[in-house]
Amino acid sequence: MKTTITAKKMQIPQNFTEHAETRIAQRLGKFFGDEADAKIVMSEIKNKIVLELTVKYNSMIYRAERSAEDKAVALDDAIDKIIRQIRKNKTRVEKKLKDTAFKEAFTEPVEEITDYEIIKDKKFKLRPMNVEEAILQMNLLSHEFFMFLNADTGVINVVYKRDDGNYALLEPDND
């Protein structure tokens, strides 16, 4: 598994880089093949390490963000979160992961989700607006996300509020 580590406004010790590569290979290697890409982005906020771990494999993306006072603890927590995501969606992701991923990974019973139930179907008109208007509209509606037709690009986008209180924009990449 290819691992890339990036730091924002902090230095990464070489021993942590080696530790992270080893931990990811040990804990996540059984799920993903050698073609998987793991990306770690670390930053320090208020004396805590914020670690984002993203694993890309077979057109699927797994992401976890954790903060802790120690880099190693944040890394282990992020890896645990990704394992929980895989476990929760075991039947769906089993087809896309490495063939042997689930043979030895889980010995205890796992709660499986077999179907997703859609409880509401909502249709609405997409109005062209810019990103700032979409965020304002989302906040006025007290929603966590908002889909809109981007007036600047003419493409459907989604804005959402992140756990850290900031906003993010999802836009399609058709390249």
Regarding whether 148 and 82 lie in a shared domain, the answer is no
Q: Using DSSP, how many helices (H) and how many strands (E) does the chain show?
A: 4, 8
Domain end among 93, 119, 147: 93
Domain end among 50, 73, 93: 93
**What is the pLDDT at residue 75?**
94
121 within some domain: no
Regarding whether 155 and 84 lie in a shared domain, the answer is no
Question: With contact defined as beta carbons under 8 Å apart, do 40 and 52 qualify?
Answer: yes
Q: What is the residue type of 147?
A: M
- Tokens representing 173? 């990449």
**Listed ranges 64-78, 95-109, 116-130; the one with the highest mean pLDDT:** 64-78
Domain extent at residue 149: 128-170
- In the chain, the number of structural domains is 2
Report the CATH number that the domain containing residue 162 is assigned in CATH.
3.30.505.50
The rounded distance, in Å, linking the Cα atoms of 109 and 91 is 13
**What is the pLDDT at residue 111?**
60
**What is the pLDDT at residue 105?**
53
150 within some domain: yes
Domain end among 93, 120, 136: 93
Please report the DSSP string for 95-151 in residue order: TTS-TTTTTTT--S-------PPP------PPPEE-HHHHHHHHHHHT-SEEEEEET
What are the tens digits of pLDDT across the range 9-49? 888 888 999 999 999 999 988 887 788 899 999 999 888 99
Regarding whether 78 and 156 lie in a shared domain, the answer is no
24 within some domain: yes
**Listed ranges 67-76, 82-91, 121-130, 139-148; the one with the highest mean pLDDT:** 67-76
The crossing angle, in degrees rounded to 10, of helices 14-28 and 71-88 is: 20
* % of the chain beyond a pLDDT of 90: 39
- Tokens representing 124? 């609405």
Regarding whether 80 and 26 lie in a shared domain, the answer is yes
**What is the pLDDT at residue 159?**
96
pLDDT: which is higher, 96 or 115: 115
72 within some domain: yes
pLDDT: which is higher, 9 or 129: 129
Angle at 163 between CA 145 and CA 128, to 5 degrees: 25
| Three-state DSSP class for residue 84 | helix
